[in-house]
Amino acid sequence: MLKIFSLSLCLLLSIFQLAAQDSKTFQLHSHNDYLQTVPFWTAYSAGATSIEVDVILQDGKLMAAHEVESINPKRTIESLYLDPIAEGLKSGVISKIDFHLLVDLKTSAYPTLEVLLESMKDYSDILFSQENPEGLKLIISGNRPKPEDYEKYPAWMFFDYQSKVLSEDLPWEKIGMVSLSFRQFSIWNGKGRMVEDQRKAVQDFIDLVHSFDKLVRFWGSPDSKSAWKAFYNMGEDYINTDHPIAAAEYLSKLGENVYQNPALQDVYQPKFEVDGAKTPVENVILLIGDGNGLAQISSALFSNGNQLNLTQLKNMGFVKTQAADDFTTDSAAGATAYATGEKTNNRALGVDPAGKALENLPDVLDGYGFSSGIITTDQLTGATPASFYAHHPERDDSDQIAAYLPKSKLDLFIGGGGAKFSSEMENLHEAGFTMVENLGETSAERIGYFVANDALPKKLEGRGDYLLESTAFALDFLAKKKTPFFLMVEAANIDSGGHENSSSMIVSEMLDFDQAIAEVIQFADQNPGTLVIITADHETGGVSIPQGDIASSTVELAYHSDDHTGIMVPIFAYGAHADEFRGVYENTEVFHKIMKLVKMNIE
């Protein structure tokens, strides 16, 4: 039974290792690997290419231990390493040897090596040689013979050279790596950044070792994400860690988590002439960045030369996003709160927790003479846009949701998902909607534009300036009506980036959103009486920003989750009565603040 369990474990670990190796461009040294709960296999599963075992010669056996007091008779180099490797190769769990063992001798070099040589005769078929160039190599560390004796040992045995002094006359062909204590160079604890002169000393030594075409490792080095990344960036060949699986997971995702913005966007400078003015509110523009938290905004800011259109604004606050039935909202409940001023259950669109229909902003504002429109980078049956026209308890019932669009008070809708409305086309025409195929000039009173039959592509997949152009068209179309208007613009795929833990998607989608924000701010400057509100329905991904570089437009994002979180989201306002949106409040208050300002015009 134990053998079957061990083999199953090895198979699972092997699968994990192969997945990790597919994406990694780093090498790990599993420090004191014999102390792991599952020695060897933990390191192997993480794709470690250097695996360390301390060895003590006692009673003719090579015990895996750091000191005599910790010796366990069952834990030998054979039982923990050589036998599993041989069995793994035989069973196919190990397809090839792409790692070595670093054997740290804790007892005198020469007698310990004599026993090691004798023990290795039983494993000759797996060892490196001219005839077996892909065989197992052992690198001897700790107590070592004199360098002049290295050549006396077999082809599979190499040595760990430990000195700052390197020269051409060393026996380089028998040196497997160069290792030194990190404390010879730096006192850095792995938090923040290394002091520059210490960092340079480490880098210089790495470069020196590389000049002899050899690999380098530091022991006693900090063992944290910041440290792993720093050593990776400096080119340390074997990153020393006691946590190989965690290190492999972090480093393998660096390519996804780090994003460099290829081109900076210009930023519009608001005039602030109408910002906070007590002029009557004639137009309300609500921009919702789905899933867009403070870290998402910050990542775009740092990737764009430390400036955004959004961050020019001065009136801001925070919104609490909880749903009626859950601490963490979904987009349906979050958008319904903005659209109706009422909390509802997750998954519900435009209805209260009991399922009763709630009037949304386009419905209510129609009674005050407002035109209205919605734009989204999502499908139009998506939770956020649907909250502004539908009344249904389940967000995934696309057919039922689509049926509400012809009945809505909307004058304009632009988004994807046209296929979901195929059965509603006649009803849309009867409701007075002219379905257009582009955003050209039109004299129609009500316009519908399905940009795609299904989902729109992401920004990095070629969506182009769709959101900016749609926003500009909508502003022009609604302004020409010569009536007050309400417009909701959703940037949906910031949320997708959070769900996928994709830094590139988050930054690119937020920067795309920021271009639409600039268009709206400029419109507000040109049209006093316009109120602009920019917020999010919730945060997605539990995103943080551990590192970045503003000069190179690069950020590293880290993720706590692949789902929504309950953290407050920022809200920004510009234009007429923008100062009313300062503070911390519930998401429902956005609706009530809007209505308060609209009603002031009547009174």
Cα 374 to Cα 234: distance, rounded to the nearest angstrom: 49
Q: Tokens standing for 229?
A: 């990344």
At position 520, the amino acid (one-letter code) is V
> CA 446 from chain center: how many Å?
40
Query: Shortest CA distance to 216 belongs to which of 258, 169, 163, 178?
Result: 178
Sign of CA dihedral 134, 140, 144, 147: positive
**Around 161, how many Cα atoms within 13 Å sit in the side-chain half-sphere?**
22
Sign of CA dihedral 223, 224, 225, 230: negative
Q: Which residue among 50, 221, 331, 496 is the active-site one? A: 331
At position 198, the amino acid (one-letter code) is Q
Backbone phi and psi for residue 464, each to the nearest 5 degrees, phi listed first = 70, -150
Active site residue 398: no
Q: Residues 431, 406: contact at Cβ < 8 Å?
A: yes
Backbone phi and psi for residue 439, each to the nearest 5 degrees, phi listed first = -100, 45
Q: In what order do the strands lie in the sheet with 433-435?
A: 433-435, 446-450, 412-416, 371-379, 485-491, 283-289, 530-535, 569-575, 315-320, 583-586
At position 26, the amino acid (one-letter code) is F
Burial string for 405-421 (b: 16+ CB within 10 Å, else e) reads bbebbbbbbbbbbbebb
DSSP secondary structure, 261-272, as one string: -SSPPP------
Which ranges of 324-460 would DSSP assign to H, the alpha helix? 331-340, 361-366, 383-386, 398-402, 425-430
Q: Residues 166, 209: contact at Cβ < 8 Å?
A: yes
Query: Shortest CA distance to 388 belongs to which of 362, 365, 368?
Result: 362
How many residues does the structure list for the chain? Answer: 603
The contacts of residue 583 (CB under 8 Å, 6+ apart) are: 317, 318
Burial of 371 (0-12, 13-18, 19+ CB in 10 A): buried
> CA 255 from chain center: how many Å?
10
Q: Residues 72, 34: contact at Cβ < 8 Å?
A: no
Cα 544 to Cα 11: distance, rounded to the nearest angstrom: 35
Cα 76 to Cα 62: distance, rounded to the nearest angstrom: 6
SS3 per-residue string spanning 150-193: HHHCCCCEEEEECCCCCCCCCCHHHEEEEEEEHHHCCCCCCCCC
Active site residues: 331
